[in-house]
């Protein structure tokens, strides 16, 4: 007689229920963030919560409701801690201890030449013209700011210096928020917008880079780098890319952020690490950031000077970019697989690199052997018709001169 006992086996694999529970918990967190007044600060960023939940080994009568309430409170507390940390980092702004906000009227500089110089007695941020501040500090390098072209200068300040004037009651408010140090840098040179009446002259810009941490009650300390400043005419710093072509402080800031991530990880593994050891690493980070900002500017200025020299000598290949694109044969239209850009090879080794958004990234010269090596290694492959057409249409839309646009629209641009 066959065995007809009910099959008690389950198709559920080990860990399936944990995955389902995590998904439900993540859905709950996402919904709570969406309904939080400050939820837009972290929505969609994939941040992780610091969350500790008690899980019973057996559920008795009434325990489920009680533990659910405890879990809901822990989730809400973790969300609030994450939002409080994120709220400290508002683009271009410093956290105002008086208003407990980074969005109040005190938290932003008034002009593009100003840097953060510390808190007043009641926790209000103070800003000053970078050149005037150096004069006040009797910095012997100040004259370098006013030569032509001006040299970029950096100056380091400690957290103690920036918070030295705080009254005791406002210093207590600073307990969960700290500025560990900062680097003020200036002048960066920002081209003014080109208008029908001319324009395009360079305007000075000063930027403040702060190493900051926050620690909401009951949660671990988290670190970040805050970039303070405002562009000419009140333009946000994040809008300067189109005119700068490359944000000159990007690489140093990324390096600093990676170091801070390492410090956070080390603290997570060793939460009792002495504050003196952390402060020593942070001091080294601030000094390293200053060196990298200065080194990056010098390299960029050398490249800019070289480009201007080539242009004055009439040997600048950039001016031939649109003409070479218009008359390029399919064999001379290549696609850079690493950078996702279109490469147009012209005469005498000219190579023009266009982004798929239709912007000219750079123009350089290669010898024939270098071009062939890139082809052989697959770094540059033959561009597809759709890729060429995308760049051509974006160039036309950008309106890079009617004559140039008409030339680029010719059939010679098709890669066939």
202-214 β-sheet, strand order:
153-158, 177-191, 202-214, 222-228
Distance CA 2, CA 15 (A): 33
Beta strands 341-345; 333-336: pairing state:
antiparallel
Select from 138, 361, 136, 334 the least CA-distant residue to 241.
361
Q: Cβ atoms within 10 A of the Cβ of 231, count?
A: 21
Here the tokens at position 351 are 């190579």
How much is the pLDDT for 38?
52
Query: Tokens 């929505």 identify what position?
Result: 43
CB 83 within 8 A of CB 39: yes
Distance CA 94, CA 109 (A): 9
Q: What angle do CA 125, 127, 131 make, to 5 degrees?
A: 160
Distance CA 238, CA 241 (A): 7
Question: What does each C-alpha distance from 255 to 134, 292, 383 come to in angstroms?
Answer: 27, 9, 34
Distance CA 296, CA 294 (A): 6
Q: Angle formed by the axes of helices 250-269 and 275-312, to 10°? A: 160
State the DSSP H helix or E strand holding residue 312, giving kind and residue range, or none if neither: helix 275-312
| pTM across the whole model | 0.58
How much is the pLDDT for 335?
92
How much is the pLDDT for 111?
92
Query: What is the residue extent of each domain of the chain?
Result: 20-88, 114-311, 317-413
Select from 78, 77, 96, 76 the least CA-distant residue to 88.
96
For the chain, 416 residues long, the average pLDDT of each consecutive 10-residue run is 50 75 85 65 62 79 80 78 67 87 90 95 95 91 84 92 87 71 91 54 90 78 88 81 73 89 86 86 93 74 47 48 85 87 84 85 75 84 91 76 39 32
Distance CA 23, CA 142 (A): 57
Cα torsion 3, 4, 5, 11 to 10°: value is: 100
- Helix, strand and coil in the chain, % to nearest 5: 45, 20, 35
Distance CA 92, CA 231 (A): 9
Distance CA 263, CA 240 (A): 31
Distance CA 41, CA 29 (A): 14
CB 414 within 8 A of CB 385: yes
Distance CA 126, CA 266 (A): 33
Here the tokens at position 320 are 């031939």
How much is the pLDDT for 195?
47
Select from 51, 38, 123, 124 the least CA-distant residue to 89.
38
Report CA Rg, the chain.
28
How much is the pLDDT for 68?
84
Distance CA 299, CA 24 (A): 51
């Amino acid at each position: 007689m066959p065995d007809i006992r009910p099959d008690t086996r389950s198709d559920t694999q080990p860990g399936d229920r944990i995955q389902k529970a995590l998904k439900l918990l993540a859905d709950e967190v996402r919904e709570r963030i969406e309904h939080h007044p400050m939820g837009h600060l972290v929505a969609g960023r994939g941040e992780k919560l610091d969350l500790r939940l008690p899980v019973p080994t057996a559920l008795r009568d009434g325990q489920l409701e009680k533990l659910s309430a405890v879990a809901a409170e822990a989730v809400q507390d973790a969300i609030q801690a994450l939002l409080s940390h994120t709220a400290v980092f508002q683009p271009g702004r410093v956290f105002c201890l008086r208003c407990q906000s980074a969005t109040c009227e005190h938290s932003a500089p008034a002009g593009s030449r100003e840097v953060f110089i510390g808190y007043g007695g009641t926790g209000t941020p103070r800003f000053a013209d970078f050149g005037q501040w150096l004069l006040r500090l009797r910095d012997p390098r100040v004259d370098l700011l006013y030569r032509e072209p001006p040299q970029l200068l950096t100056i380091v300040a400690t957290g103690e210096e920036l918070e030295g004037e705080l009254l005791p009651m406002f210093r207590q408010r600073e307990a969960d928020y700290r500025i560990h140090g900062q680097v003020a840098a200036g002048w960066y040179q920002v081209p003014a917008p080109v208008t029908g009446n001319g324009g395009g002259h360079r305007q000075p810009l000063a930027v403040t880079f702060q190493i900051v941490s926050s620690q909401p009650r009951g949660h671990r300390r988290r670190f970040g780098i805050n970039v303070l400043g405002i562009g000419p005419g009140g333009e946000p710093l994040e809008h300067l890319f189109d005119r700068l072509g490359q944000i000159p402080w990007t690489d140093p800031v990324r390096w600093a952020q990676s170091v801070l991530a390492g410090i956070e990880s080390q603290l997570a593994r060793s939460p009792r690490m002495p504050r003196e050891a952390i402060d020593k690493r942070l001091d080294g980070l601030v000094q390293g950031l200053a060196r990298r900002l200065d080194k990056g500017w010098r390299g960029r200025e050398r490249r800019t000077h070289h480009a201007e020299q080539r242009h004055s000598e009439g040997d600048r290949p950039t001016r031939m970019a649109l003409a070479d694109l218009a008359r390029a044969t399919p064999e001379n239209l290549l696609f850079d697989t690493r950078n996702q850009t279109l490469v147009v090879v012209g005469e005498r080794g000219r190579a023009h690199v266009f982004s798929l958004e239709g912007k000219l990234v750079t123009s350089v010269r290669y010898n024939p052997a270098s071009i062939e090596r890139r082809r052989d290694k697959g770094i540059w492959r033959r561009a597809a018709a759709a890729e060429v057409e995308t760049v051509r249409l974006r160039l036309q839309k950008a309106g890079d001169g009617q004559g140039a646009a008409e030339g680029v629209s010719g059939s010679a641009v098709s890669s066939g």
